Chains A and B, each alone.
Chain A
Amino acid sequence: MIASKKIVLLGHFGVGKTSLIRRFVQDIFSKDYKVTIGVHISKKEVLISENKKVSLLLWDLEGHEDIKRTRPSYLLGTHGFIYVFDLSRPETYKALKTEIEHLKTHYKNVPIKVVGNKMDLVTKEHIKQNADVFDDFVDFFTSAKLGSRVELLFSKLAKELL
């Protein structure tokens, strides 16, 4: 029997949570932004090693400026978090430290991956300039549009969950 793991994607609206899931699950991308309301749940099986699979249940939550506004029931039984922000919009990462600390305090043993998405819209210089914010927290810089490091993000988290 394949183990199922619930992964919740959090972050401001418009940062690309839905796009990351669509890229990972269906390998597609749409430039049109459609607001997610409530929650969409997708599922994808990931091969962890030669004989080992895990079923990822991906909860794509409606985006909020403040993580504390997330409906608590959505987070019940979460095995892993992916916190996504938009590298091209500072508003989406200005409270990154507070947001991540809140998650770490309230979900002590749940792994968190912090993801700066929309890498295709910024320069390496921009990332260097914000190194003081990014260096301490960010695990992955991704582009859902180009598909870069999306697969790696989910598979790395999946491995940590087993």
Chain B
Amino acid sequence: MTLDTYKKNYHKNKFQYLLTNHLAVILESDDTLFVLEQKTALDDVHPFFESLLSLFKTKGETYHFSCVNLIVKGKDVIVDISIHNQDGNKNLVVIEDLTNHYNNYQLTAQTRNDSVINSQILELKNKYLLEKEDFKNTFITNFSHQLRNPITSIATFCNIISDTNLSAEQKNYLHIISSANTDLKNRIDDVLDIAKINSGQLILTKDVFSLATFLDEIVYEYKSLAANKNLDFSAEIDTKLPEFIEGDKFRLKQIIDNLMSNAITFTTKGSVGFHISLNYIRANKISLHIEVTDTGIGINPSDYDLVFERFAKIESPIQNDENIGLGLAIVKHLISEMGGNISIESQKNIGTKITCNLSLSTIPRTYKEPKKTASPKTFNFARKQNVLLIDASELTQLSVLKTLALEGNFYLEIVSNIAALSEILLKQEFDIILLSNKLGNHSAEELIKKVLKTSRDYKDVPKLILTPEISSTEIKRLIRVPNTDYIKTPFDKNILLETIYEYLKK
């Protein structure tokens, strides 16, 4: 065979040439792709041509259309079409069949578009879920904060009543009210902590504290609680532990409290133990190893992971209504934030050992141990101190009023709205200002600005912010300013008094 013969056998011509007049009527066609009879109007062949009739009347122009999907005489093709205006009102129409090429492109485009659309939909779903979560967290946070004022009041008045003449029965009732109030506060704190974890706002603080004193208090507290249940208590404290460390004391206490409370709650006979030792000190980090053991009801190995889940309450013969199932989820998160880990070893009806490792910091070289101060009560003021309380909550007003009144060292003025603030500041001088973290729409920062705007003399007057939230950016920024501090609400009357005395003696 000659080369031409091979070409005829193997080469499939994919071009169709048509000659039309200016009305797009076919004069000639080579019928390579479709058989089109002479004198057929192209606009009858396909609406593509019908749309472009005007182009057949132009002169000296060439028009190119790529990737046109045509069905002609039952044949489905994807073609490039060009229309070339020729002399004498004629047009050359060239149709190139590129079906295979465009079908491949179609597959690629399909994959790409599917992927883009799916990722956009996922992003939207994610955004929706985040908004929902955000709304939930905000709601929980606001609602929990609303509950704090009445809790503070209950705690304050329980304290005040306890100092009055009460019968044994009344004291017992008061103890029940006070305990229930503490439980409620703890539960709200747990819910708030979970909301903070969810929104990434649970931030650990760094303060230097005495580890030795801290551990003494832990041992004292849980030795008593174990004794109340007739349980033996053992404590081992590594002598290599430094006296002072830097870290979030409150959160470390929260971790140990959760582990120890669970150990005591779920143990009816035998013992509970608390052991703490030093793993290592390296590059300003101090790694602690903590073990809490009990001879309680134990945990099934299949439930090990479950106990760290939120609202998880595994089946137990011991009723524990005080636990809402958030404690260990919070503990796990806190330990993780402290760069550590937690694990369980347990045998049903034999006991449980919970082990955790966590890191805190060694104290800065520049740190100096604070001098012990005398008890606040030993301060004698030459005159009664003027205290201004800026807070709209009547319960807080009453709690502060009763707490200060019993001391006999203070005059208290109360401002419930921003309008009255300037007036009272101009009228009277104050030795210390207590202010809410929010008054109407005004933040603590705005309230302080308002105070300073009235008189620069208040720059040196202590300003104590009553706030449930100490990890917010605003409060952190404010308390860096000299003479500005916070008192966490719901407050304990002793903490309130100690803080006030501490600032007044400066």
Contacts and interface: CB of A to CB of B under 8 A. Distances in A.
B3 interface: no
B130 interface: no
A43 interface: yes
A106 interface: no
B106 interface: yes
A35 B113 contact: yes
A40 interface: yes
Given A4-B53, A39-B65, A76-B63, 5 more contacts: A13-B116, A33-B117, A35-B106, A41-B51, A89-B117
Contact of B124 (A35, A59, A77, A89): A89
Contact of B55 (A4, A62, A77, A91): A77
Contact of A77 (B47, B52, B105): B52
Contact of A62 (B65, B67, B120): B67
Contact of B51 (A14, A77, A88, A89): A77
A57 interface: yes
B230 interface: no
20 contacts: A4-B50, A4-B53, A14-B113, A33-B114, A34-B110, A35-B106, A35-B109, A35-B110, A37-B67, A37-B109, A38-B78, A39-B67, A40-B69, A42-B47, A43-B50, A55-B50, A57-B51, A73-B64, A88-B121, A89-B120
A38 B66 CA distance: 7
B102 interface: yes
Contacts of B67: 37-39, 62
Interface string A49-89: 00000010101001100000001011011000000000011
A77 B65 CA distance: 13
Contacts of A89: 117, 120-121, 124
A37 B124 contact: no
Interface in B339-357: none
Interface of B: 46-48, 50-55, 63-69, 78, 102, 105-106, 109-110, 113-114, 116-117, 120-121, 124
Contacts, number: 76
Given A34-B110, A42-B47, A57-B47, A76 B52 contact: yes
A37 B78 contact: yes
A73 B117 contact: no
B41 to A, nearest CB: 13
A6 interface: yes
Contacts of B69: 37-41
Contact of B105 (A37, A40, A41, A57): A37
Interface residues of A, number: 28
A55 B44 CA distance: 13
Contact of B113 (A13, A38, A40, A91): A13
A146 B337 CA distance: 52
Contacts of B113: 13-14, 33, 35, 63
A73 B63 contact: yes
A37 B55 CA distance: 23
B32 to A, nearest CB: 21
Contacts of B51: 4, 6, 41, 57, 59, 77
Q: Which of B48, B51, B109, B114 has the most C-beta atoms of chain A within 10 angstroms of its own C-beta?
A: B51
A129 B341 CA distance: 45
Contacts of B114: 33
Nearest to A15: B117
A77 B109 CA distance: 28
A41 B47 contact: yes
Given A38-B68, A42-B47, A90 B124 contact: yes
Nearest to B123: A91
Q: 8 tightest CB-CB pairs across the interface, nearest first?
A: A38-B67, A43-B47, A57-B51, A6-B51, A35-B110, A40-B69, A35-B109, A41-B48
Nearest to B70: A41
Interface string A3-17: 010100000011000
A13 B106 CA distance: 13
Nearest to A7: B51
Contacts of B55: 76-77
B131 to A, nearest CB: 12
A62 B52 CA distance: 19
Contacts of B52: 76-77
Contacts of A43: 47, 50
B48 A91 contact: no
Contacts of A57: 47, 50-51
Q: Which of A35, A59, A77, A91 has the most C-beta atoms of chain B within 10 angstroms of its own C-beta?
A: A35
Contacts of B102: 37-38
Contacts of A35: 106, 109-110, 113
Contacts of B105: 37
A7 to B, nearest CB: 9
Contacts of A6: 51
Nearest to A59: B51
Given A37-B67, A38-B102, A42-B47, A77 B110 contact: no
Contacts of A77: 51-52, 54-55
A13 B46 CA distance: 25
Q: Which of A39, A43, A63 has the most C-beta atoms of chain B within 10 angstroms of its own C-beta?
A: A39
A38 B69 CA distance: 7
Nearest to A34: B110
A91 B116 CA distance: 10
A73 B47 contact: no
Contacts of B110: 34-35
Contact of A41 (B46, B63, B116, B124): B46
Nearest to B81: A73
A14 to B, nearest CB: 5
B120 to A, nearest CB: 5
Contacts of A74: 65
A71 B24 CA distance: 23
A57 to B, nearest CB: 4
Contacts of B117: 13-14, 33, 89
Nearest to B49: A41
A90 B121 CA distance: 10
